[in-house]
Amino acid sequence: MKKIAVILFIFNVFVQWSEAQPRAIGGRLGNYFEVSYQHAVTEKSMAALEVGASFHSNIEAALVYNWVFPITTWQNKGAFNWYAGTGIIGGWGETAVGRVVSENGISYRNDLQPRAFVAGAVCIGVEYQFWFPLQLSVDYRPAAGIGFGDYYTAKTGKSSGFYPGFSSFALSVRYLFHVSDKKETEQNRE
């Protein structure tokens, strides 16, 4: 009985804590199309979980912890912030390997090999939170880590063991579930 009471208490605290924290959900479009969820950890930091698929049969998940810094000189309506942080990315996909085949003037590799990766990432970006519940952001999230399987790049040919994820610019659009009381008060004054 005590275990059930403790579990219910922890669950209740978690629900109350999550209701009080600002959060946003939306999409992130770059090399991958990702579903993006942000959750404020403190007033000046947030955790972002993004899960998505690329346009060439790869899936990826990223968990990034960002510190948020307001850009007070750009404030008009809404709020500009820049953010930076670190995190981890993992994924799975297929790489085209094998002999190059040409059909009807189109060249491609005739075999797909599975591959996976785990990488550390850094993130830096700028976001704009409108005075209504919408957020736009642009960020750069490069990653480097370990690849399991064969990776082929245009410059080097076969490259195995290293995951290079350096071309990760993206645009995000998110719906804000919670607007802080401070912003609501400022809006009511206008």
Task: At 169, list the tokens.
Answer: 């610019």
Task: Quote the pLDDT of residue 43.
Answer: 87
Percent of the chain residues past pLDDT 70, beyond the cut: 65
Find, among 70, 66, 57, the residue nearest to 139 by Cα.
66
Q: Cα–Cα distance between 172 and 26 in angstroms, integer?
A: 7
Domains of the chain: 23-189 (2.40.160.20)
Q: Cα–Cα distance between 38 and 63 in angstroms, integer?
A: 10
Task: Quote the pLDDT of residue 183.
Answer: 46
User: For the chain, what is the mean pLDDT?
Assistant: 78
Find, among 189, 98, 97, 83, the residue nearest to 140 by Cα.
83
Q: How confident is the model at residue 182 (pLDDT cuts 50, 70, 90)?
A: very low
Query: Which region among 16-25, 38-47, 52-61, 126-135 has the lowest average model confidence (pLDDT)?
Result: 16-25
State yes or no: pLDDT of 118 exceeds 80.
yes
Rounded mean pLDDT, 17-23: 59
Contact yes or no for 152/164 (Cβ under 8 A)? no
Burial of 97 (0-12, 13-18, 19+ CB in 10 A): middle
Residue type, 8: L
Task: Quote the pLDDT of residue 190.
Answer: 45
Task: Quote the pLDDT of residue 160.
Answer: 58
Query: Residues 76-101: pLDDT tens digits?
Result: 788 899 999 999 999 988 766 555 65
What stretches of the chain show up as alpha helix (H) in DSSP?
Answer: 2-20, 181-189
Task: Quote the pLDDT of residue 102.
Answer: 62
pTM score, whole prediction: 0.71
**Greatest mean pLDDT among 14-28, 105-119, 123-137:** 123-137
Q: How confident is the model at residue 126 (pLDDT cuts 50, 70, 90)?
A: very high
Tokens 């579930």 belong to 177
